[in-house]
Structure 1
Amino acid sequence: MLATSPSPVHAAVLIAGAGDVGLRAAQRFVARGHPVFALRRHPPGAPPPGVAWVRGDLTEPATLAGLPAAGIVVFAPTPGAREAAAYRGVFVDGLRHLLAALPAVPARLVFASSSAVYGEHAGAWVDEATPTDPPGFNGRVLLEAEAIVAGLAGGVTVRLAGLYGPGRTQLLDRLREGKAAVPHGQGVYANRIHVDDAAAALTHAALLERPAPLYLGVDDTPLPIDALYGELARRVGGPVPPEGPAPAGVGNKRLSNARLRASGFTCEWPDARKGYAALLA
């Protein structure tokens, strides 16, 4: 098993799908002394310090020949389109292609999944034991990939909540322009995690000596969505968000990170209001 404490010999890490969250995780592994390889279809110039690019496409098995041996794999791809075929091609077929191409079975494979696998819970608390009931194709495809990961001896899934952080300004832009409606006073909750905390959670799960097979990656503070949107609108100088329906295909729930915290993880940004405030500052 992988050790939690530093040692002279560190497992090599392959980030399969090295986008924003994946590269942030890569830099955390580098800081801990791990050799890190980052798989991308089209590597964008020079890699971050300590990271080596690997060119390959998860949807094209022939491009995955010659992958480096890695004791730790972080599987965090991004589909090219928001449609079922693209999701299945990357998350399900792509995962199978990756596992077939690896020169050895990794001691640990961490999958960055999503809380989209849950359904409607009327604002109740949700944790890893809550039955899944995905309302959309994305959640259904992710569950298929999770099943593959669960069949691996070192497989761990981290279901990430809604991501925010540098470069993710769409919501703020909509609030500034008065285009983001929200249900007021109905107890509809938003669940968020800062991208740096998401990357830290993936790294943490990879390095635990005896991880659970599943964690919820979310901050400490589920917020009524009208309170969150109202606070953000005020900070960006936008109007009070108008009355409107809850976000479609998400479901109303409060995600609990109790299992992740019990494993020793601490969010740098436990409350999205403070995380957004720091971004805007």
Structure 2
Amino acid sequence: MHAGVLIAGAGDVGMRAARLFAARGHAVFALRRHPPAEAPPGVTWVRGDLTDPSSLAALPTVGIVVFAATPDAREEAAYRAVFVDGLRHLIAALPVAPARTVFVSSSAVHGEHGGAWVDEATPPAPPGFNGRVLLEAEDWLAHAGVGGVSVRLAGLYGPGRTQLLDRLREGKAAVPRGQGVYANRIHVDDAAAALVHVAWLDAPAPVYLGVDDTPLPIDVLYDHLASLVGAPTPPDGPPPAGVGSKRLSNALLRASGFRCTWPDAREGYAALLP
């Protein structure tokens, strides 16, 4: 497999993955519409817009692509322009078809399961347009002949992603109590490491759930985090909209050899505190 790696959509998760690839000695290219003046060591910026095929004429030859793009707006048209059309534009513009293409998807493709366990064999039932668009992109990639693997990430937290802690401190977070509603999380560094891990598997599954080892009742998680930051216990309130209650299993990812550095979000969040 060619050692070159292209990170398409080099935001937070993408750049964390880029640094991991670079640390392993790979030539890493990071695609952005407006690259900053300097790049991390081992990373070369590539200017391009996934929604504009004419801007992708000078892509490098690589063996691995990580598609980690994010839309500008939470609107179906914006999602489709990036995840469906943008993915196709990128693959068509590459000089040589990559041996592996890792698509950063979301657990949003799974809806309400009444707190039951969900894995890669569970039929997707996206409750919103975001999940439906991502699922369409996953399906296209699986048949594109570019070694497609989709990683459905759960809720991300980590450095720079502490909004929940802030809301708890400010008394702005409510939580459904005693309703069996589960939270599924993964630390952003574990998410990036999972992308790198599946990129080098010899015979990967077409889909993996990117989640930690410990899905928690959401009231258990919120109460614990409130105690960590010295905030009052959050009041009872409605569950998060458009998510659905389920316990995501990472058994398939673990069976491939991956291990989370932060297997329990309670420990991961605690490590973020001064």
- The aligned counterpart of 1:6 is none
Task: Return the offset for 1:152.
Answer: 2.9
Per-residue deviation, 1:209: 1.0
What is the Cα deviation at residue 44 of structure 1? Answer: 2.0
1:234, distance to aligned residue in structure 2 (A): 1.3
Specify the alignment match of 1:74 in structure 2: 66
Q: Per-residue deviation at 1:180?
A: 0.7
Cα offsets for 1:54-80 (capped at 9, x unmatched): 010101111111100110000000110
Q: 129, 135, 141: which is aligned to 1:143?
A: 135
Q: Secondary structure of 1:201's partner?
A: helix
Which residue in the other structure is 1:245 paired with? 238
2:269 is matched with which residue: 263, 273, 276? 276
Aligned match for 1:215, one of 208, 213, 224: 208
1:186 Cα offset (Å): 1.6
| Residue 82 of structure 2 is aligned to residue 93 of structure 1 | no
The alignment status of 1:52 with 2:44, answered yes or no, reads yes
Of 222, 226, 233 in structure 1, the residue corresponding to residue 226 of structure 2 is 233
**1:102 matched to which residue of 2?**
94
AA matched with 2:57:
A
Report the Cα distance in structure 1 between the residues aligned to 2:111 and 2:105, rounded to whole angstroms.
Answer: 15
Partner of 1:204: 197
| Equivalent position to 2:54, from 55, 59, 62 | 62
Unaligned 5+ runs, structure 1: 3-9
The CA deviation at 1:45 is 2.4
Could you say which residue in structure 1 is the equivalent of 2:188? 195
Report the Cα distance in structure 1 between the residues aligned to 2:25 and 2:140, rounded to whole angstroms: 29
Q: Distance in 1 between matches of 2:167 and 2:263?
A: 24
Amino acid at match of 1:132: P
Distance 1:90 1:253 in 2: 27
**Match of 1:84?**
76
Q: CA deviation at 1:274?
A: 0.2
Quote the Cα distance in structure 2 between the aligned partners of 1:241 and 1:149: 42
What code does the residue aligned with 1:264 have? Answer: G
- Provide structure 2 residue ranges, at least 5 long, that are not aligned to the other structure: none
Alpha-carbon separation, structure 2, partners of 1:94 and 1:73:
13
Q: Does 1:162 align with 2:150?
A: no
Q: How much has 1:127 moved relative to structure 2? A: 0.1
1:35 aligns with 2:27: yes
TM-score (norm 1): 0.96
Q: How big is the shift at 1:140? A: 0.4
Distance 2:12 2:102 in 1: 16
- Write the mapping of 1:106-185 to structure 2, written as runs, cut at 5 A: 106-153=98-145, 154-185=147-178
Instruction: Determine helix, strand or coil for the equivalent of 1:280.
Output: coil
The aligned amino acid for 1:254 is R
Residue of structure 2 in register with 1:7 after alignment: none
Percent identity between the aligned chains?
Answer: 78
The superposition leaves residues 116-137 of structure 1 with CA deviations (integer Å, 9 ceiling, x where unpaired) of 0001000000000001110111
TM-score by length of 2: 0.98
The number of equivalent residue pairs is 273
CA distance in 2: counterparts of 1:136 and 1:238, whole angstroms: 32
Deviates more, 1:267-276 or 1:184-193: 184-193
Give 3-state SS (helix, strand or coil) of 2:25's partner: coil
Runs ≥4 residues deviating over 4 A: none
For residues 196 and 244 of structure 1, the distance between their equivalents in structure 2, rounded to whole angstroms, comes to: 30
Distance 1:213 1:221 in 2: 23
Q: 2: distance between equivalents of 1:56 and 1:171? A: 33
In the alignment, the residues of structure 2 paired with residue 52 and residue 189 of structure 1 have an alpha-carbon distance, to the nearest angstrom, of: 40
